[in-house]
Structure 1
Amino acid sequence: MRILFYTDTPHVGGAEKQMELLAKTARKAGHSVCLAYGVYSQLNNGRTALEKAYNELLSIRTIHKHDPRHYFALKRILKKGHFDLIHIHLWNPGSCRYAFFAASQVGVPIVTTEHDPFALHGWKQWVKKRCIKRTKQTIAISADNFRQLMDTFDIPQERLNLVHNGIELNRFLDKMNGAQLPIPPGDTVITCIAEMHPRKGHRFLLDAFSELQKTIPDLHLMLVGTGPLEDELKKKYGDQPNIHFLGWREDVPEILKASDLFVLPSLKEAFGLVVVEAMASGVPVIATRAGGVPELVEDGKSGLLVPPADSTALTSAIATLIHDPERRRIIQKAGLDRARLFTAEKMTAKTIKVYEKARFV
């Protein structure tokens, strides 16, 4: 099968990494996968990795996601490329609209993945409904995501498919050394890997950490990621010696191997892939009951779940696992077993079945 991936995102985050992993795994299964994207995107900064994942990169000379040249360029690409389908990856529900109209004009079947659905209003909702009518099959990355798509956009159930995201399991199972971190030997390390955005709930974790440090002075917090809140958080907490801002890192498996606990304090979370990565690394997980996260973590068995926006509950959960090494060990083992359910191979096999439905049903 010859497949065109498309996104108009200006950023690189979890959705774009999932696209890359899906492309790599689909190619191993014998399919051809090309990527079309705007030159303004941060994807352009990682062309070396993209070239390894995709058969071909097709950069479109546009200046932003609203540039109508997306439409004309995609029509040319789809006509010349002889693609069996286009897989449009929506980083928000109003994105990529030019791709829907270009593909329907050329007659190429459309599959979409809605990475972060939420309600639209006014003309955006009208355009969205027109895009949905042109879509053969839609992929939801969690059951929570699935329900939102049905309720918000009235997508018929026969055109909706649940395909959980996946990870390269062996990257996290490998017996690698942990990253070299500025931590004294024997101290306890809590790690949070997330975009520094209000919806990720960093301030609730930082409040919990400040409370815990009063009784556990050898506790350290590693914050991995960048985003719009980065400068504000650094200004407020950057002078605290046990809070470490590591920025964007490529060595996530090594950082997780050096961690004692992983915490994801999100207020909103479409899936929570980093939770699976932490479990696969053998790190006990504490997370919030946000979005798709409860589908990944069985509360009390493969991790602990707390309500979103509740620093007191976070404090209690973290303290519980720090002071109970036997419970940490049990959760660690159950988390590793749970992570094996969310592999790139399983994600790709289910996605290929969706492609076949889009082409032949």
Structure 2
Amino acid sequence: MWIAHANFAKGFRGGERQTQLLIEQLAQQGYKQKLLTRIDSELAQRCSHIKHLEIIPLKKPYIFHSSVVKGATLLHAHETKALQFAYFAHLLYNMPYIVTRRVDNPLKTNFLNKKMYAAAFKSVALSKAIENEVLRVSPEAKTAIIPSAFSDITVNEKVSAMIKERFKGKFLIGNVGALVDSHKGQSLLIEAAKGLEKNHPELHFILLGRGEDEEKFKEQAKGLKNITFEGFVDNVNDYISCFDLFLFPSRHEGLGSILLDVMQLNVPVIATDVGGIPDIIKSEYNGLLIPPASAEAIVNSIIDLYKHPEKRALLAAHAKETVKNYSPSAMAKRYIGLYGTVQKEA
């Protein structure tokens, strides 16, 4: 068996990190793999060390190069452009393919989407919310739910110690994600910071990431001394390990795989009750769920956990136990089972 993966995403976000994690796990199992990417792909660069992996950069239009997957046991599409590529390869060469959909954004109800998901051997969703969206558009799709995995990135203790020293005496509330308010909702975090600065100056917010709303957010936070925009960092886990609390005010979310890294590092979570987040977070057990678009709910939840360290510790302990089910090896095992079914039925 050898597997061709396709991911033509521009940058390197959660979906690309999960693609890399899966490829690494499969390589450890001895699988022969190809990775099809766009030219100058960061995903390709990050996967260049993986054994038994051939990386093939393709020029647009990608579907003109579909012959590169001939001979593969199956094609695994990891995002929308890759799904279009896979569907075209299926029509030309009867290539079996699966697709992993990682976002819960509304799908367009059109003929192509209906056919692409229906023709897939399996349409994998990260959460029930995503599965429902696929079935809404393509009721004939054969679906399965395989959630994301936490990353195996280690913490650099020296860097972590430097971060803690830099913010000494502060209760750190972190957020990691693209600075895009329509998705990640950081404007609500900033409003919460405004409401807390006067009475709780010891609470300090750190935002990691870049995005289209970065300047707008900085303007919104102008004059605040309790918020730091750290930008893009190489190893977010160095920062996560320093957080006392993680805040995730997304307006919609397929799953929120960064939450798995946070839970793995024993940091309590406050997140919005949207999309696939409730698949991971059970409120008052391994985190707190709050209604979306409510800065007031954010403030109240922060104060609750800040004043009750024993509650924070209990939530973090339960989260650490929960996240055992979301290891990279567990995710890979689920996909290997799916691949084997394709091989038997092909």
TM-score normalised to the size of structure 2? 0.92
Aligned to 1:38: 38
Q: Give the match's secondary structure for 2:123.
A: strand
Q: Distance in 1 between matches of 2:117 and 2:234?
A: 35
Aligned to 2:2: 2
Deviation at 1:73, TM superposition (A): 1.1
User: Which amino acid in structure 1 is aligned with residue 271 of structure 2?
Assistant: A
Q: Deviations over 1:197-229 (max 9, x none)?
A: 121111111111211122111221110111111
Check 1:151–1:112 CA distance in 2 against 1; reply closer, same or farther (3 A cut). Answer: same
Q: After alignment, is 53-62 or 274-283 more displaced?
A: 53-62
Q: Indicate if the aligned counterparts of 1:118 and 1:152 stay in contact, CA closer than 8 A.
A: no
Aligned to 2:224: 240
What are the equivalent positions in structure 2 for 1:1-361 lying under 5 Å apart? 1-39=1-39, 44-45=41-42, 47-53=44-50, 55-62=53-60, 67=61, 70-75=62-67, 77-79=68-70, 82-90=71-79, 92=80, 96-121=83-108, 125-156=110-141, 159-169=142-152, 171=154, 178=160, 180-181=162-163, 183-197=166-180, 198-237=182-221, 239-361=223-345
Check 1:184–1:194 CA distance in 2 against 1; reply closer, same or farther (3 A cut). Answer: closer
Q: After alignment, is 99-108 or 271-280 more displaced?
A: 99-108
Q: Distance in 2 between matches of 1:199 and 1:152?
A: 22
Q: Deviations over 1:219-262 (max 9, x none)?
A: 21110111111121123325533211111112111101111100
User: Which amino acid in structure 2 is aligned with residue 103 of structure 1?
Assistant: H
Deviation at 1:169, TM superposition (A): 5.0
TM-score normalised to the size of structure 1? 0.89
Deviation at 1:78, TM superposition (A): 1.5
**Alignment length, in residue pairs?**
342
Q: Give the match's secondary structure for 1:185.
A: coil
User: Which amino acid in structure 2 is aligned with residue 87 of structure 1?
Assistant: H
Deviation at 1:176, TM superposition (A): 7.3
User: Which amino acid in structure 1 is aligned with residue 144 of structure 2?
Assistant: N
Q: Distance in 1 between matches of 2:36 and 2:257?
A: 24
Q: Distance in 1 between matches of 2:265 and 2:32?
A: 31
Q: Deviations over 1:308-354 (max 9, x none)?
A: 11111111000000111111111121111111111111100001111
Check 1:256–1:360 CA distance in 2 against 1; reply closer, same or farther (3 A cut). Answer: same
Q: After alignment, is 275-284 or 226-235 more displaced?
A: 226-235
Deviation at 1:56, TM superposition (A): 1.3
Q: Indicate if the aligned counterparts of 1:137 and 1:357 stay in contact, CA closer than 8 A.
A: no
Q: Deviations over 1:121-178 (max 9, x none)?
A: 46xx11112222331111111122222222232144xx21111111235736x97762
Q: Indicate if the aligned counterparts of 2:247 and 2:270 stay in contact, CA closer than 8 A.
A: yes
Q: Distance in 2 between matches of 1:110 and 1:184?
A: 49
Check 1:169–1:71 CA distance in 2 against 1; reply closer, same or farther (3 A cut). Answer: closer
Q: Indicate if the aligned counterparts of 2:4 and 2:34 stay in contact, CA closer than 8 A.
A: yes
Q: Provide structure 2 residue ranges, at least 5 long, that are not aligned to the other structure.
A: none
User: Which amino acid in structure 1 is aligned with residue 46 of structure 2?
Assistant: A
RMSD over aligned Cα atoms:
2.1
Query: How many percent identity over aligned positions?
Result: 23
Check 1:147–1:121 CA distance in 2 against 1; reply closer, same or farther (3 A cut). Answer: closer
Q: Distance in 1 between matches of 2:14 and 2:214?
A: 18
Q: Indicate if the aligned counterparts of 1:112 and 1:139 stay in contact, CA closer than 8 A.
A: yes
User: Which amino acid in structure 2 is aligned with residue 325 of structure 1?
Assistant: P
Q: Give the match's secondary structure for 1:301.
A: coil
Check 1:283–1:177 CA distance in 2 against 1; reply closer, same or farther (3 A cut). Answer: farther
